[in-house]
Amino acid sequence: MTTLNEQARNQIAKVITDLQHKPGALLPILHGIQDRLGYIPPESVPMIAEALNQSRADIHGVISFYHQFRSTAPGQHTVEICRAEACQSMGARQFETHVKHTLGVDYHGTTTDRSITLESVYCLGNCACAPSVRVNDQIIGRVTPEKFDGLVDELRSQKLEVQ
């Protein structure tokens, strides 16, 4: 396990201090950490446990229950493919095959260049304009394989710019 750098540790500590007084603070804390770091580092579990006076097992149990929370760093962008019925009726199954093939990863996987992490999602509420995908916080409707490929190119070029 890589040890967390000082800056990340401080960010986690700040999220915990800011939110621990809230009733039912655990989910807001977990969201806060994942929003800032992209994931919930295992090192944060004992920190949260101590602040909330709960066991590490309790905290781990909550993290592992929810599909959204992850314990490893994601790629630079997260792409979620809707797998629910309304999207199925518009060809989501074939689309999902295309996406996995194009990116060369299955769900929960990250591309080798670490630009994209692929996740599934059950409904983005855009069911009248299916199929839908979510890229980070942006939802895109009536997506086609061609549209998706263009999107991936765009995301990868953004990564180059950052580098």
CA angle (137 as vertex; 136, 140 as ends), nearest 5: 90
Closest contact distance (angstroms) between CB of 134 and other proteins is 7
Part in contact with other proteins (CB under 8 A); list of ranges 2-10, 96-104, 125-133, 152-160: 125-133
Of the candidates 9, 11, 31, 109, which one interacts with other proteins according to CB under 8 A?
A: 31
Shortest distance, CB of residue 123 to other proteins, whole angstroms?
Answer: 5
Is 146 among the residues that bind other proteins (CB under 8 A)? no
Among 38, 49, 123, 159, binds other proteins (CB under 8 A): 123
Binding-residue pattern over the window 47 to 86 for other proteins, x denoting contact by CB under 8 A: -----x--------xx--xxxxx--------------xxx
